Structure 1
């Protein structure tokens, strides 16, 4: 157990070192995307376990994180430690690092978080509509992504 904890801490430490950042900005992007997913999770005024499980799954499936790393990242985004990462910075990171199809995929994943509890709240719908405009995803692509998620 101690070895696993040490490995996790080493991974997290490496995420934030200058050398790792220069080689690969994936950890910063994973944090930014997780921040958006956690933002969606709280839009309806409650944090459902099903939404948290969905975020954990998406981080492992699409961003190559382990379950422990995913949990830690979610906790970091929920806690006050993540307050310094402002929404506008998250949007800039996504716009700078992803093309339109990749951004659409991110929105599809956020729709998955919204639907994890079985319904899309009005505020969840508004959150993703605003986000799609900020990251430059055309309305048609957003609607298609929503329909794909609803059909799954």
Structure 2
């Protein structure tokens, strides 16, 4: 009986050794979708937030303008269709290092502070994402303070 359970787990529940890793495009899409999510948390993605988002994506991924437009549009569509943050945060957990996760949280703060107004929904969303991608509370606060102080 125990050997049948072990066999079932090995066949159905463990990831395959040769399973494809998350592609760079999927990682970019997950990051972009989370940045758009924070930009729209207050129900208004204004031009300043959108430009900040595009600047961050350009800085992170060094994309050509055409590819940047495509990624932004695709991320917006994905974000509109998403029913939860899980599909994006699970990809981030699978594909990113702790430093990349911290950088994502910092980037989310940049989008939130882009319009010089921090909405409670933006902060709550960033806090939730930080928890889901296992960024410590102290690093969450450090990222916020770094971005906030740079805005002053």
Give the TM-score of the pair, scaled to structure 1.
Answer: 0.79
Q: 2:51 aligns with which of 50, 53, 59?
A: 53
Residues 102-121 of structure 1: pairs in structure 2 closer than 5 A: 102-121=100-119
Q: How many residues matched? A: 131
1:128 and 2:126 equivalent?
yes
Task: Output the aligned Cα RMSD.
Answer: 2.0
Match of 2:15 in 1: none
Mapped to 1, the partners of 2:27 and 2:139 lie a distance apart of: 22
Match of 2:148 in 1: 150
Deviation at residue 100 of structure 1 after TM alignment: 1.7
Task: Tell which structure's C-alpha radius of gyration is larger.
Answer: 2
Where in structure 1 do 4 or more consecutive aligned residues deviate above 6 Å? none
1:4-62 superposed Cα distances (whole Å, 9 cap, x missing partner): xxxxxxxxxxxxxxxxxx58711110000000001011001111001110111111111
Gaps of at least 5 residues in structure 1 are 1-21
Q: Which of structures 1 and 2 has the larger relative contact order (alpha carbons within 8 angstroms, sep 6+)?
A: 2
Distance 1:41 1:91, change over 3 A: same
Match of 1:74 in 2: 72
Give the TM-score of the pair, scaled to structure 2.
Answer: 0.79
Question: Does the residue aligned with 2:93 lie in a helix, a strand or coil?
Answer: helix
Gaps of at least 5 residues in structure 2 are 1-19
Q: 1:95 aligns with which of 80, 93, 97?
A: 93
Question: Does the residue aligned with 1:117 lie in a helix, a strand or coil?
Answer: coil
Match of 1:11 in 2: none
